Structure 1
Amino acid sequence: MPADHQMSQANLDNPVEIIICRTFAAPRELVWMVWTDPNHVGRWWGPAGFTTTTHSMDFRPGGSWRYTMHGPDGRDYGNRVEYIEIDKPSRLIYTLGGEGSDESVSFRTEVVLECVGENGRGTKVTMRSIFPTAEARDFVINDHGAVEGGKQHLANLEDYLASMSAGDDHEPPFSISHVFNASREKVWEAWTEQEHLLQWFGPKGSTMLHATMDLRVGGMFHYCMSHPNGMEMWGRWVFRTINRPDKLDFISSFSNASGEITPAPFQGLDNFPPETWTTVTLVEHAGKSRGTLVTIEARPFNGTIVQRDFFTAFHNSMRQGWTGTMQQLSEFFGD
């Protein structure tokens, strides 16, 4: 399917509407199922970094879906969907309103699913949200980041459909997210400029002693870090993808002063993979606090089965280290 068909588009020509569409390389029946089945919809619903807790779901005209969306900045958003029309598998109309502190948000949404592509194997989804007034529409755009959030919403659906196609037998990557009170450009600079990385990179209590940066595909970030116990550790990133200010891909490894790959220097990490594929994505946070949502994902690169299993079991320890690192980056931005 052509790449441009995969892009989200938002139509703001009508002052009381938001229209967002995206085309998926998946059959319409599958897209309908993951949009309407309570076993699936809560696993992808919402903008980037959000998770969803379903309280009740009665999928029928006149029924409702009550759920809470948990933002990556720690905010919770209560929501209630009231189903109006259901025409399987092509059309769905519902109203969406906030609950509790978010009762000011209320609008009507029509979701249309069209078969497209060769033999109709793809699906174009058009989401048309209609607000009672232009002021109400502008409120959700300005206060909740609704346009960007809608694009991320459909991007999450695409990722979920892709994961279903890949099967459920692959190991989940390590993943952690954090919202920073800074623009994507500022956060990008913090991740890619040597003088900035020296000020914040590493777990809480660590200190960067040395760093060199060659920011190009195939280039390397090579650094030395002092841990709170006094141990010095070398590491390196070899860049695979550099898309400013959206995404960094790199292969990370423990290293020596010459930049060569070495085993993990800590006791008990004999089975840690020698290389991990790390992806850092930066998106606008579609929530009240705004800012930039950074998500870090890592998985073993060409590791053995034993190394992959060890890496999966080590996720909690990695989370502790990355949480401290994210705290240092927050302090770097003055949060």
Structure 2
Amino acid sequence: MNHRADHDMFAGKTAELIIRRSFDVAPAYVFDAWLDPGTLGRWLFATPEGQMKTVEVDARVGGSFRVAEQRGEVLADHVGTYLEIDRPHRLVFTFTYHGEGERTPASLVILDFVATGTGCELTLTHRMDASFESWLDKVREGWTGILGGLAANVATERDFVITREIDAPRDAVFRAWTEPQRLTRWWGPECFINPICEIDLSAGGRHYIVMRSPDGTDYPCKGKYLDIFPPKRLLMTMDCSEHPAAWHDMVDPQRGDNPNPAGEIVEAVLLDKLDDKRTRITVRLRFKSVAVRDALERIGMRAGWSQSFDRLQRMMQA
């Protein structure tokens, strides 16, 4: 269903922006995230220091949505209407911004989802009033950040998710995840140490940490940062290929000469500010298959993360 006539009002005399981004999941997962009020406020129109106040979604053609974030003294209110919903191929909506005593002209957003061999590609087309022509770079920057947040929040059946509330300010928790001298104090299960930790906190930057067990066995982990949005989220890859052979055998006893049966893991860290002294941490790990996720659950992944969070809480209270 669609409101094609409403599309036509944006033809001509508009500024247009097109952005494409690839995702490692099927189109339906990415499509559904745009209509999920449970997670939408974490990434759509969210800013680093803003506090989301209202997220409302009436997911039908002609239905409306509202995403309102408190930004200092200003309530940044985004209100829109769904014009076309064709799951999982296309989603079209209009929206306006209300804040600081202003209301922007309505603009049109067209989302096209195309399946690829490894997931899907999203093409976002934003048509806005011609007066925004000089702001296109800023608009592109905004959408790029939004799509990074979307990538961190898409949920699939291949994911492992764990959540913990920590008695510490969100800024402090973010630093604990991104500063080597802090990360080494809590990363890993009880009684593990981290003799090596290197972090290049930039988009595409590398991270490398070596966990050492009480018996002296090293468990190196490396990867790169895909998205950094202080102090709300991190998105990064994890490569455990340098782990001991015995660990790989537990992941897949039939691995043969496969040096890394776990494959590349994508980790999202989401930090929600509960109040000035409390933070909710959500960690989402995406594996190449449900079988790999289940294997790591069996060999203690959940217990390991729980112990890491215990150590993090103790560090914050020290």
TM-score where L is the length of structure 1: 0.49
Alignment of 1:182-221 (within 5 A): none
Distance 1:35 1:94 in 2: 11
- Please give the secondary structure, in 1, of the residue aligned with 2:28: helix
**1:21-77, Cα deviation, whole Å (9 max, x unpaired):** 112222222222221233443344345746644343222233211122356x89752
Query: What is aligned with 2:288?
Result: none
Query: What is aligned with 2:150?
Result: 157
Q: CA deviation at 1:154?
A: 1.4
Query: What is aligned with 2:245?
Result: none
Distance 2:54 2:15 in 1: 29
* 1:18 aligned onto 2:14: no
Query: What is aligned with 2:196?
Result: 238
Distance 1:150 1:167 in 2: 25
Distance 1:80 1:146 in 2: 17
Distance 1:22 1:131 in 2: 20
- Please give the secondary structure, in 2, of the residue aligned with 1:155: helix
* 1:65 aligned onto 2:23: no
Alignment of 1:265-280 (within 5 A): none
Q: Determine if contact 2:205/2:224 at 8 Å carries over to the other structure.
A: yes
Q: CA deviation at 1:295?
A: 5.7
Distance 1:137 1:22 in 2: 22
Q: Determine if contact 1:174/1:315 at 8 Å carries over to the other structure.
A: no
- Please give the secondary structure, in 1, of the residue aligned with 2:41: helix
Distance 1:91 1:173 in 2: 35
Q: Determine if contact 1:281/1:294 at 8 Å carries over to the other structure.
A: no
Q: CA deviation at 1:318?
A: 5.0
Query: What is aligned with 2:126?
Result: 129
Query: What is aligned with 1:84?
Result: 83
* 1:251 aligned onto 2:230: no
Alignment of 1:24-43 (within 5 A): 24-43=23-42
**1:209-254, Cα deviation, whole Å (9 max, x unpaired):** xxxxxxxxxxxx99xxxxxxxxxxxx9762456475754524388x
Query: What is aligned with 1:311?
Result: 308
- Please give the secondary structure, in 1, of the residue aligned with 2:93: strand
Identity %: 18
Select the residue among 128, 135, 138 that pairs with 2:134.
138
Q: CA deviation at 1:16?
A: 1.1
Q: CA deviation at 1:280?
A: 10
- Please give the secondary structure, in 1, of the residue aligned with 2:143: helix
Indicate how the Cα distance of structure 1 residues 284 and 82 shifts in structure 2: closer, same or farther if over 3 A, else same.
same
Aligned length: 230
Query: What is aligned with 1:208?
Result: none
TM-score where L is the length of structure 2: 0.51
Indicate how the Cα distance of structure 1 residues 25 and 280 shifts in structure 2: closer, same or farther if over 3 A, else same.
closer
Distance 1:15 1:178 in 2: 40
Indicate how the Cα distance of structure 1 residues 133 and 102 shifts in structure 2: closer, same or farther if over 3 A, else same.
farther
* 1:108 aligned onto 2:66: no
